[in-house]
Amino acid sequence: MNIVGIFIAAGVVSITGLLIGLFLGAAGIKFKVEVDEKEEAVLAALPGNNCGGCGFAGCSGLAAAIAKGEAAVNACPVGGEPVGEKIAEIMGVEAEAGEKMIAFVKCAGDCDKARMDYDYTGVEDCRMLAFVPNGGPKSCNDGCLGFGSCVKVCPFDAIHVVNGVAVVDKVACKACGKCVEVCPKHLIELIPYKSQYAVACSSKEKGPVTMKDCQAGCIGCGICVKQCEHGAVSVSDFHASINQEKCTGCGACEKKCPKKSIVIL
């Protein structure tokens, strides 16, 4: 083998490699994506659950919005106040006081209290029951269907079906809102964690109809309204509701409720 040919071939390969390296280096500099250090720091501070409870498509979306000043530093419902304070320090601002929330299921019509029209056998998904007679086997059209669509979407294992009704674990719940979105009956809402009493019913039917359908249904009698000295309870469309901002937690409404529709949280 010609030694000169070997050296020529080695030289060509070396020069080609050098040129390619220079080209890639120049391309890397030209097309370099600038990284926002604050955004990276905020993303690192977030819990990484990517639950979407903040309204953005995952933690990276929220981090970008916070870095641009388009979202509050305490916008993460999972991280809560500790994460909010850490992000506020990164952004060089003060964290606004945020109220901790919790999901609440407005129904107490379990298998022992709610009347059933028929036995259902089929796909166990609450969203599918819109296509069956009466919107589900329970006589109450506003009651929890109990097939756990909310359970399936909860990333924190904070909600479970107990005796035919979804029940929230206050400690595990992070108020991400996924259960609120998925419930086809719109029975789940976010209320302040500090709430002590709530109406566990969503029926808007008149008293006689509700009493026939469920033993725990609110009949809109107004006794709770008369008992509350702080104007926190009201009745509209045959249904009682509690204004959590006005409620002092005295418990007078719960004690006098004849159907026990008002529950202690």
pLDDT tens figures, 129-164: 878 888 889 999 999 999 999 999 999 999 999 999
Domains and CATH numbers, the chain: 37-91 (1.10.15.40), 101-194 (3.30.70.20), 195-265 (3.30.70.20)
| Rounded Cα distance, 151 and 142, in Å | 19
| Rounded Cα distance, 100 and 231, in Å | 23
pLDDT tens figures, 26-79: 766 666 555 578 888 888 888 888 888 887 888 888 888 888 888 888 888 888
Give pLDDT, residue 27: 66
pLDDT tens figures, 197-212: 999 999 999 999 999 9
pLDDT at residue 263 tops 80? yes
pLDDT tens figures, 81-129: 888 888 888 888 877 767 889 999 999 999 999 999 999 888 889 998 8
Helix, strand, or coil (residue 241): strand
Mean pLDDT of the chain: 88
Helix, strand, or coil (residue 161): strand
Tokens read off for 51: 């639950």
Give pLDDT, residue 245: 93
What are phi and psi for residue 236, nearest 5 degrees?
Answer: -145, 135
- 132 compared with 257, residue with greater pLDDT: 257
Give pLDDT, residue 30: 63
Give pLDDT, residue 132: 86
